[in-house]
């Protein structure tokens, strides 16, 4: 035995972030934010609004600022507690950009060019294939490595980026001496994947052009109900979970399970013999009921700009203290001359 007591056992450190490029959806909650909230007590959590990552696409500045504050307010309204975690805006901690430049010099062009997301996004937006889009994974590596995160909960589309961060960290450690913790990508066990209401074979996305495909966490009750009533289903009438043959109904069952707290098996029994119209209405009601107190708190927070500023300031100060320790170590090992205080 190492003699370690319960009091000295350190919680594992987790880093996670979401870009404020649009309003968060019920898919964002089910796939990521629900887990963020659950992890606050069991892990040492560092969460950020990834605004630096957002500008790889063209954004209207006023809308971008609004989206950023709305996302922060929604995090808080859902139950992310700045007393239990470090919560901040990425652009408020300059060490992210500083470390990213250093890590660029320890990243091979070939490995960066193999990133699947860069290839896919370049094809989708050939008129704006900028260097930032190419360099996105290195900034993500800086995000993770600054906080010595051991665990990074990600979806399948981001797993490759965490593996790149690990490779960069290993290369730097081998060149100088152990500096960075090697992060492990973790696919959340309980993160439900929500698909589009109009295209139930594609993941629900806040950047989807069809507004009826997404349900946003800030949508009003009438809007939510309208979208669920118009959701694509099939020509059958049985409410059964079958992703291959009944993707629309299976998706709605997942939504109902996430927002009502009932298992999918129980939901199937509940709606046995009932038509799709009744089922879709009840799914909409479950989401509306869940979001009612969240939206009330969200509106209250958005109106309290002083409180949001205090959360951002405190979070940035806490994050900067952690990040600066790592960056100072990196600068010293690379050989930069320190400025005497």
Q: What are the residue numbers of the active site?
A: 121, 203, 206
Residue with tokens 């708190």: 297
What span, in angstroms and rounded, lies between the C-alpha atoms of 297 and 306?
15
* CB proximity list for 311: less than 8 A, separation 6 or greater: 72, 76, 82, 87
Angle of helix 116-124 relative to helix 156-175, nearest 10 degrees, comes to 130
User: What's the chain's length in residues?
Assistant: 341
- The owner of tokens 């805006």 is 89
Q: How far apart are CA 159 and CA 161, in angstroms?
A: 5
- CB burial string 258-277: b at 16+ within 10 A, e below: bbbebeeeebbeebeeeebe
- Grouping H, G, I as helix, E, B as strand and the rest as coil, residue 142 is helix
| Phi/psi of residue 219, nearest 5 degrees | -60, 145
Q: What does the alpha-carbon distance between residue 122 and residue 115 come to, in Å, rounded to a whole number?
A: 11
Strands (E), 40-182: 44-49, 86-89, 151-153
């Amino acid at each position: 035995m190492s003699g370690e007591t319960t009091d000295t056992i350190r919680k594992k450190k987790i880093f996670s972030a979401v870009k404020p490029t649009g309003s968060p959806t019920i898919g964002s909650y089910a796939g990521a934010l629900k887990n963020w909230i659950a992890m606050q007590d069991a892990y040492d959590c560092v969460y950020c609004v990834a605004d630096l990552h957002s500008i790889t696409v063209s954004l209207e500045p006023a809308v971008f600022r609004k989206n950023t504050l709305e996302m922060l307010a929604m995090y808080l309204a859902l139950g992310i507690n700045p007393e239990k975690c470090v919560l901040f805006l990425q652009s408020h901690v300059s060490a992210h950009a500083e470390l990213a430049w250093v890590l660029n010099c320890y990243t091979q062009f070939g490995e960066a060019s193999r990133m699947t997301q860069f290839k896919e996004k370049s094809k989708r937006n050939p008129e704006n294939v900028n260097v930032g889009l190419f360099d996105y994974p290195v900034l993500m590596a800086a995000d993770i490595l600054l906080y010595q995160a051991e665990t990074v909960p990600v979806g399948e589309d981001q797993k490759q980026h965490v593996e790149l961060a690990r490779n960069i960290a290993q290369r730097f450690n081998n060149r100088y001496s152990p500096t960075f913790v090697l992060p492990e990508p973790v696919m959340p066990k309980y993160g439900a994947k929500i698909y589009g209401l109009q295209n139930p074979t594609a993941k629900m996305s806040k950047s989807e052009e069809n507004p009826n495909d997404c349900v946003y966490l800030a949508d009003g009750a009438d809007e939510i109900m309208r979208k669920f009533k118009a959701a694509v289903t099939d020509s059958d009438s049985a409410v059964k979970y079958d992703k291959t043959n009944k993707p629309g109904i299976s998706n709605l069952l997942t939504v109902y399970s996430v927002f009502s707290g009932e298992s999918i098996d129980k939901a199937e029994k509940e709606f046995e013999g009932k038509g799709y119209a009744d089922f879709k209405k009840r799914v909409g009601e479950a989401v509306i009921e869940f979001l009612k107190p969240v939206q009330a708190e969200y509106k209250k927070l958005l109106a309290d700009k002083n409180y949001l500023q205090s959360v951002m300031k405190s979070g940035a100060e806490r994050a900067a203290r952690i990040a600066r320790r790592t960056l100072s170590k990196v600068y010293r090992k690379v050989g930069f001359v320190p400025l005497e205080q």
